[in-house]
Structure 1
Amino acid sequence: MTTAAPSPVTSASTAQPALHALNLSRVYPSGEGQVQALAPFTHTFPPGLTAVVGPSGSGKSTLLNLLAGFDQPTTGQVLIGDTNLTLLDESARADFRLKHYGFVFQNHNLVSILTALENVEFPLTLAGLPPRERMARARELLALVGLEARGRHFPAQLSGGEAQRVAIARALAGDPGILLADEPTGNLDSKTGELVLSQLQTIARQGRTVVLITHDRDIAALADHHLQVRDGVVGVVD
């Protein structure tokens, strides 16, 4: 099966589906009853870079997991365009994520036995692109993050910042409308973290919705939109 190649990464993405959280909450059982990890929360995430800031254990990762469909909410819905992610079964959610989401984590999660180029190609293989098209796409994405000369290197041969930029390139492979980044600068020095953040800002300016989870208020201050999470309660800072 062949799939149409994604649009060039250098052109602005258009008509991307909006990301909505409607009365979203998550409660976990505990030995003493229940723990409210996320209080009911309604918000539309606009195109651009939204920073979600808060201390460890505040509920930031719970929010991201719900937005991604990795976890199911206790109440509420996650809508992406006309699709209710909450109503999809696990397999359908995985397929939807492959087409519409990109992910960057604190630990780059690159496959150690694949080169940088092959890591970027991997989601395109899952999407069914022919070898020549996915290689061209992967090379284009590595060039976008300034690593075209490192395509043959394995993750162990890359610096932390380079590996994280490869992870960003991989996240963009399917030209997703939504990119979720969970503490992507957390393991990096400040200069390298700023470079990674600059890449995320560039992605957001192309019309994508980028949600950045961070505990670093200096990083968060550079975003277009701001949310704060404390004790499971999300508030808009803008």
Structure 2
Amino acid sequence: MTVVPREEAGGQRAGTPPLHVENLSRVYSSGEGQVQALAPFTHTFPPGMTAVVGPSGSGKSTLLNLLAGFDTPSTGHVAVGDVNLTTLSEPARADFRLAHYGFVFQNHNLVSILSAQENVEFPLTLAGLPPKERRARARELLALVGLEGRAGHLPNQLSGGEAQRVAIARALARDPGILLADEPTGNLDSKTGELVLSLLTGLAVQGRRVVLITHDLDVAALAQHRLSVRDGVVTAG
């Protein structure tokens, strides 16, 4: 059983694929014509945490959806290592996401009828991992986020912070190199938010590429790298 995180000598996680976007943009059609949700930009996301900052409606979520392959760009492409995500079929993109991405959303998106452990096991079930290995991996990850004692609880029996920590454990189930976090502390009190951010920061330090969407400049200040988005235009810093 692989221990989280996988590391090379020197404390860095092994096998984290580069994440690069080239001339990436998104234009939507509306009744009034075309709306540019994201202007063309090129960027390589370095290992560590990159905070993407901007007000509501600025284009942050559009960028996240493109990075994940949930949406198709109007121009350009997203590359993970040597794989052009944009050219893959939807089933192939879904398989690729399962293997290489982890997601943490503002509302945690846990399956309500599954226990904390079963939620963490879910991506491993999709990947075909045997039950014994799934259970061991889920216990390991729940221990990592300090919730081994809550493994049998349903999402409605967890606090907001506990549910978000389960979501982080689930995101790590297949030890992805890329984590996309969309306002992960938006519904949490400040103390619980700090705990969740500490977990994400620790994962970034290990060498993963963590892309954190936020409107909070204090949260963004914890990241090693920063992008700003306003009216669909992405700038560094």
Q: TM-score, normalised by structure 1?
A: 0.96
> RMSD value over aligned CA atoms?
0.8
- After TM superposition, the structure 1 = structure 2 runs for residues 219-238 of structure 1, keeping only pairs within 5 Å, are 219-237=219-237
Q: What is the SS of the residue equivalent to 1:198?
A: helix
Residue in 2 that maps onto 1:139: 139
Structure 2 partner of 1:112: 112
> Where in structure 1 do 4 or more consecutive aligned residues deviate above 3 Å?
none
Amino acid aligned to 2:169:
A
Work out the number of aligned pairs and report it. 232
Structure 2, gaps ≥5 residues long: 8-12
Q: Distance in 2 between matches of 1:126 and 1:33?
A: 41
In structure 1, what residue type is equivalent to 2:194?
A: E
Q: Which amino acid aligns with 1:230?
A: R
Of residues 3, 9, 34, the one that matches 1:8 is 3
Q: Does 2:210 match 1:210?
A: yes
Q: Is the 8 A contact 2:56 2:215 kept in 1?
A: yes
SS in 1 for 2:187: coil
SS, match of residue 27 in structure 2: strand
Q: Does 1:177 align with 2:172?
A: no
Gaps of 5+ in 1: none
Q: Secondary structure of the residue that 2:228 maps to in structure 1? A: strand
Give the letter aligned to residue 204 of structure 1: A
Q: 1:137: how far off?
A: 0.3
- Counterpart of 2:157? 157
How big is each residue's C-alpha offset from its partner over 1:74-98, in whole Å with a ceiling of 9 and x where there is no partner? 0001000000000001000000000
Q: 2:51 & 2:92 partners in 1: Cα distance?
A: 28
How far is the alpha carbon of 1:194 from its aligned partner? Answer: 0.8
In 1: Cα distance, 2:60 partner to 2:204 partner: 20
Scaled by the length of structure 2, the TM-score of the pair is 0.96
- C-alpha displacement at 1:161, in angstroms? 0.3
Letter in 2 for 1:120: V
C-alpha separation in 1, matches of 2:49 and 2:158: 27
2:27 matches 1:27: yes
Cross-structure match for 1:193:
193
